[in-house]
Structure 1
């Protein structure tokens, strides 16, 4: 939110500084009796120096005027205001603020100049982050103005209240500006969005983000934020739609972004689409070829009942994994598919690689695979190993008994 304040102030203060001196001189011509010819000449020269960006010389001339004119006079007010404009142009906002306060304190400015100076002072308070003072100046100023838009002031007030963490008070000002604009600036909508975030009003935040996307469709951040909002609202189907559109537009290029879309497909019970995405990105190299990622792919293919693809993915994962667990998982799939010899090969690799969390299960599955492929001696050896584990002892005994009875018969 601070960024949007800075952007608006840069424009506002520049306009204030450039117009300050000339406004003063036009006023002087209407009140020639209140400013001496000498003071008028000095102010006119100061204005010319400001136009040439010779600020140091302009300051010197204005300070000379201030040393000569009467206290609380119209000439003093104009000189103070012009000097404040010079300091504002030099981004010395604290000094500019002090000078403009002094100019207003003279009470010598006419009504129009008074309102103009108050507006400038409100802007300067924003620049020096005195937000309470800015609100105290700009709100009454806005009430007195006949113009129903006053875009700049409303944006300043919205920013001031946002900085004061009074988000509900900020909303009407920024929403008024957006409502009356043909094409709202991105910074206005971003502030509107930030306010809804702060208020945890995520449905309204989603509305603002959809408008940002419609106006600025090439901004990747808006797509990602809208995806996050829909996830926050547990509207996962919408989150998937937006995230997939962002992917198709080429906005999702990093591995975490692609994995997020992969997970959204899975959450929305679209495992085939999830697996197709991940397989494509593994081949393209945008997702790293790691055991973890190949295991994710294998799981998605398995859920989609694409077992051939799942087996291929698990084989890739198994070769990259430092333990045998993935070979064991591959063995399970082969057992389910009744591919007994393939199961034997995978499970033996799992046992050889070691580090298994379920070694006992590996021996049981290996024994079953040997038995089903007619290798009874190897089956007995596998079940004998399974007997060593409490969890599989009973099952192994039953298999050994079954093998013995089957052979004797």
Structure 2
């Protein structure tokens, strides 16, 4: 008469779990139905054990219950070594020994035994598939990810339903062997199942797993949609916002990336000097230098941004680009005097020029040239010429523009200014000549008027008796005191 020892095996097989960096093993192995210990006739049918094997198996299971795993393993090994076993009996004993080896942390031995069981093909499909799942996960624990994937996928192909947990493990394993095309469907399946769950949807680990695949496969739109969900679900997570801004920039949505960074700043998420400086640069890149300068100046004054030369240069450049010359000047002066670089003196000179302080600008531009390191010195000579023009120093301006002719990039502009100066000089000369002629004509009238006056006083004549006229001072360059024209002299 046969009897069932399923209860004994169920009690013996506890949940198998082995923590690893990626994997957690699946649940308990299925129990088996074994023959009666009192049977006297050996039945070769699958699922039936001989009395000798069945009784000894019960004894070994009892040892397992007492925690005597080493003795149980030795007993299974001795039984297996008898050689006179049916495939089913051999499968049962190998399976039990594999469990004992697992408990003894002999994972290699456990894997070898369970693979041998699977190869025998003597167990029912349900039991064999459960063993494939557990063996596959053990293989992943020992870093044989490809072997583990093969066994678990074989179980799925033989009817084991794919659930979120298995899909996540397969996705993790595919990631470890960098088979991203193969792992993506599992990552998506695991995510979808987690989102369908009633416990609030996917957790961070499930989100991160799917995001990893999207990143590796350069699936930018999918990354962006997923990270948007993560930002909405965990709005206090700075890393999500940072990734969101980066993805927006990669997608060509720079303005949106800028707005995300502004939101992070207003939310107090940007705290380091580097983060705040990067935000100020964003302001400059997206044509809002004034806002960037205000923000950066505030953070510099608060001490949250380091007062380095580079950061002060950034502040100065933001004020310059915003055309806030008066606010830029003290910063530019500090930068120039601190660094001593010709380029910083160039920027300072430009701000002085734009602020209308032409004499100071000229002096600073000369310093910039003397210090050197300028990428376009011809432009600086043009600036100097312009500053001198503003001070009505045409000669000095012409000399500066002549220097600018030495560089091809500034030659056309300088030549234009020189032509302008020549034209202006011609106009001024013509105007001066016209003014001279008008003055002479006016003086001639004045002289004639003076001659017609009747003079009876001796003071109206000189020693020689010649009439002395009252000549206006402005006429003295052209007429003597008797009203005679003086020799014409050419202007110098």
Same fold (TM over 0.5): yes
- Tell me which residue corresponds to 2:443: none
Contact 2:174 2:182 in 1 (8 A): yes
Distance 1:287 1:30, change over 3 A: farther
Distance 1:154 1:357, change over 3 A: closer
**Cα distance, 1:207 vs structure 2:** 1.1
- Structure 2 counterpart SS, 1:251: coil
Distance 1:143 1:333, change over 3 A: same
Matched, 1:220 2:277: no
Contact 2:316 2:328 in 1 (8 A): yes
Q: What is the 5 A alignment of 1:3-402?
A: 6-9=20-23, 11-12=24-25, 19=28, 27=32, 34=49, 35-49=53-67, 58-69=69-80, 70-71=82-83, 76-85=90-99, 87-88=101-102, 92-145=106-159, 150-181=163-194, 182=197, 183-351=201-369, 353-366=371-384, 368-370=386-388, 372-373=390-391, 376=393, 384=399, 387-388=402-403, 390-391=406-407
Cα separation, 2, equivalents of 1:349 and 1:114 = 87
Distance 1:247 1:8, change over 3 A: same
TM-score normalised according to structure 2 size: 0.66
Contact 2:94 2:113 in 1 (8 A): yes
- Tell me which residue corresponds to 1:53: none
Higher relative contact order (CA 8 A, sep 6+): 1
**Cα distance, 1:6 vs structure 2:** 4.8
Cα separation, 2, equivalents of 1:238 and 1:38 = 72
Cα separation, 1, equivalents of 2:60 and 2:289 = 79
Distance 1:242 1:362, change over 3 A: closer
Cα separation, 1, equivalents of 2:304 and 2:103 = 49
Contact 2:63 2:71 in 1 (8 A): no
Cα RMSD, aligned residues only: 3.6
Structure 1 gap segments, 5+ residues each: 50-56
Cα separation, 1, equivalents of 2:302 and 2:283 = 19
Which of the pair is proportionally richer in helix?
1
- Structure 1 counterpart SS, 2:66: helix
Q: Give CA-to-partner distance per residue, 1:30-55, whole Å, 9 cap, x none.
A: 76563443432222222432xxxxxx
**Cα distance, 1:323 vs structure 2:** 1.4
Between structure 1 and structure 2, the one with the greater Rg is 2
Distance 1:356 1:232, change over 3 A: closer
Q: Give CA-to-partner distance per residue, 1:168-201, whole Å, 9 cap, x none.
A: 4423322222222232132222221122222221
TM-score normalised according to structure 1 size: 0.78
Contact 1:383 1:399 in 2 (8 A): no
Contact 2:326 2:355 in 1 (8 A): no
- Report how many residues are paired: 385
Structure 2 gap segments, 5+ residues each: 1-18, 40-48, 433-492
